[in-house]
Chain A
Amino acid sequence: MKPVLMCRDVVVDFDGFRALQGVDLVVYPHEVRFLIGPNGAGKTTLLDVICGRTRATDGRVLFFSHDITQRPEYEIVQIGIARKFQSPSIFPFLTVWENMELAMRQDRRLRSVLRAKLTGEEKEMMAAQLEKIGLLDERHRLAGSLSHGQKQWLEIGMQLIQRPQLLLLDEPIAGMSAAERERTGEWLHEMAEHCAVIIVEHDMDFVRRYSKQVTVMHEGKVLCEGSMDEVQQNERVIDVYLGRGKNACCASGM
């Protein structure tokens, strides 16, 4: 099978500080890949590089056969990579419905947006998506007035309606209740029917429950890859987490 994403020897240098020091990552279609590692390991930075928010100092990022290493963010989105940020970033002064309308897969050039009108088919699709994330009844509300959890869901809905081929999630369950976490976890695998997912997560219980493949990062490098069980047995991983003592963010869960 052809990989969706290939990162080769990606280096990011922030004025002398090497946040990524040669990262390789290959993700296949329909895969849910968990990225874990202590704070500052470079997980967010890696997602930033993939979606074009941060430029790689060296190395290449391939999306199918496109080299996207130097493309602007909006082009990367247009060819099929969606990104969800750590804090919910919906548009507070647009309604739930309008948020979805902007997120929907469409021609995003000015000249087509000027003429754009929702077709019946599009409306149905948006309604179906809203139904799934439980926000259909809230569609006329300003997104800014939703609860924190609802905002998270809206944002996930906005990612899904983009119909991406690769979805990047950065700590999506932060601030969610236990029930919401569970729904998110189930969703992850439903999402994977349509696209590949890379997810950064700190909550080890969540990772253990919903992961197949895990990539552990540490100090800007990939430490190891495998199932959660394999990863937990890995000497170097144990060293890193034990070496960091009990304060390290993930230590308690390992």
Chain B
Amino acid sequence: MNKRWGYWLFFAALFLAPFYLTEFRLSLLGKFLCFAIVAVGISLIWGHTGILSLGHGVYFGLGAYCMAMYLKLEASRGHLPDFMEWSGVRELPWFWKPFAHPMVAIAAAIALPTLLAALLSYFTFKNRIQGVYFSLLSQAVVVVFVTLFIGKQEWTGGTNGLTNFSTVFGFSLSSPLTQIVLYWLTAAVLALIFVMTRRLTTGRLGKVLIAIRDAENRVRFLGFNPTVYKVFVYSLSAAFAGVAGALFVLQVGLISPEMMGIIPSIEMVLWAAVGGRHSLMGAIMGAIVMNTAKSFLSENYPDLWLLLLGALFVVVVLFVPKGLAGIYESLAAVRIKEKRGHECEARVDVS
């Protein structure tokens, strides 16, 4: 019960943020909530199922690019996007054309990452490739996509990525009101994904996932096919990342290959690690706290961030494997014990 109140309070605070944060801080928080959506997916696959993916940057990036393609076309008002003209392209490539429809863009932002994740995970998990080998494979996919997106400048905008958008559904992206609405949308999506994932993990599925994490072979001998379950949660987490990417690009106004690369992919894992990968709320907190720290530090000491990130990773892995959520839980456990202690004393008094 206590926990549930905490959740309500947290999401209420998020929804009220436009009333107490400056425009600048709100835009930062909006961005962090996108990251929090990714972190929920990471917690689902890593904390609950034991799949360490170092490739979620790609799913995030794909979602973001899909949305960005629509924004770019809307900003170009029927002309070719600027970067295509500079690269000497004469006609809009065929695969860009459907993205003129926002609904296609949104659908693709979810479907493409999901499909890519499903393919990758199906072929690896079916062949019982696990652990570190899967992590490396997922990272190889990042390298392939980043290289592809940089190389195909005339289609993707190259290293600069896609930017200079103007409107979404005809509303100006620079207007504060649009930004607030987008913030609320992001907070709502995060709440929805949190509630949905929590239901999944507290139900029987969650137990199957924990069982797969701890003894995959044993799960097979209970008659479950772990491959199906792993492909499902992995693809679901990629869908979350795709949605997060789409919301991100709407608020930040830019997506480039750098943002889907290896370092962002590792950062995503770190958010969950710092927050506590076994806990969905921990992962959300991890994403918010880490990115707050990052924006503070990179405003003041830009070079320090990567070093600190590395150090933090080592510290968390070695000393706080359960992250912030773990610290919170042990504090709560102490409190419960104290309370129980009082109850026992009380009972002794009565008798």
Nearest-Cβ distance from residue B128 to partner chain A, whole angstroms: 11
Which A residues touch B221, using CB under 8 A?
51, 53, 73-74, 77, 82-83, 85
Q: Mark B86-99, 1 if CB is under 8 A from A, else 0.
A: 00000000000000
Whether, in the assembled complex, B78 has its beta carbon less than 8 Å from a beta carbon of chain A, the answer is: no
* CB-CB under 8 A for A78 and B223, given A91-B215, A102-B211: yes
Whether, in the assembled complex, A179 has its beta carbon less than 8 Å from a beta carbon of chain B, the answer is: no
Whether, in the assembled complex, A92 has its beta carbon less than 8 Å from a beta carbon of chain B, the answer is: yes
Whether, in the assembled complex, B180 has its beta carbon less than 8 Å from a beta carbon of chain A, the answer is: no
Whether, in the assembled complex, B224 has its beta carbon less than 8 Å from a beta carbon of chain A, the answer is: yes
Whether, in the assembled complex, A242 has its beta carbon less than 8 Å from a beta carbon of chain B, the answer is: no
Q: Which residues of B from 209 to 242 have beta carbons under 8 Å from A? A: 210-211, 213-215, 217-225, 228-229, 232
* CB-CB under 8 A for A101 and B207, given A77-B223, A91-B215, A162-B222: yes
Which B residues touch A109, using CB under 8 A?
228
Look across to chain B and name the residue whose beta carbon is closest to the beta carbon of A77.
Answer: B223
* CB-CB under 8 A for A91 and B203, given A74-B225, A162-B222: no
Which A residues touch B224, using CB under 8 A?
74, 102, 108, 113
Contact A91 B204 (CB under 8 A): no
Whether, in the assembled complex, B205 has its beta carbon less than 8 Å from a beta carbon of chain A, the answer is: yes
The count of residues in chain B whose C-beta lies closer than 8 Å to any C-beta of chain A is: 23
- Interface of chain B, main secondary structure: helix
Whether, in the assembled complex, A94 has its beta carbon less than 8 Å from a beta carbon of chain B, the answer is: yes
Interface size class for chain A? 20 to 34
The distance in angstroms between the C-alpha atoms of A85 and B211, with both chains bound, is 16
The distance in angstroms between the C-alpha atoms of A18 and B207, with both chains bound, is 39
Contact A92 B214 (CB under 8 A): yes
* CB-CB under 8 A for A91 and B211, given A113-B204, A114-B203, A116-B204: yes
Contact A102 B225 (CB under 8 A): no
Whether, in the assembled complex, B208 has its beta carbon less than 8 Å from a beta carbon of chain A, the answer is: yes
Which A residues touch B188, using CB under 8 A?
none
Q: Mark A87-131, 1 if CB is under 8 A from B, else 0.
A: 001111110001001110000111001101100000000000000
Contact B223 A113 (CB under 8 A): no
Whether, in the assembled complex, B200 has its beta carbon less than 8 Å from a beta carbon of chain A, the answer is: yes
Contact B205 A102 (CB under 8 A): no
Which A residues touch B200, using CB under 8 A?
114
Which B residues touch A110, using CB under 8 A?
205, 228-229, 232
Contact B207 A114 (CB under 8 A): no
The distance in angstroms between the C-alpha atoms of A78 and B228, with both chains bound, is 15
Whether, in the assembled complex, A72 has its beta carbon less than 8 Å from a beta carbon of chain B, the answer is: yes
Contact B225 A72 (CB under 8 A): yes
Nearest-Cβ distance from residue B95 to partner chain A, whole angstroms: 32
* CB-CB under 8 A for A114 and B205, given A74-B225, A91-B210, A94-B210: yes
Which A residues touch B222, using CB under 8 A?
74, 77, 102-103, 108, 158, 162
The distance in angstroms between the C-alpha atoms of A142 and B80, with both chains bound, is 61
Which A residues touch B214, using CB under 8 A?
91-93
Which A residues touch B219, using CB under 8 A?
102
Q: Mark A63-82, 1 if CB is under 8 A from B, else 0.
A: 00000000011110110001
Q: Given A51, A89, A94, A162, which contacts B207 in the complex, CB threshold below 8 Å?
A: A94
Which B residues touch A74, using CB under 8 A?
220-225
Q: Given A77, A85, A101, which contacts B204 in the complex, CB threshold below 8 Å?
A: A101
Additional 15 contacts, C-beta under 8 A, given A74-B221, A91-B218, A158-B222: A77-B220, A77-B223, A78-B223, A94-B211, A101-B204, A102-B204, A102-B211, A102-B219, A102-B222, A108-B223, A110-B228, A113-B204, A113-B208, A114-B200, A114-B203
Which A positions have Cβ atoms within 8 angstroms of B?
51, 53, 72-75, 77-78, 82-83, 85, 89-94, 98, 101-103, 108-110, 113-114, 116-117, 158, 162
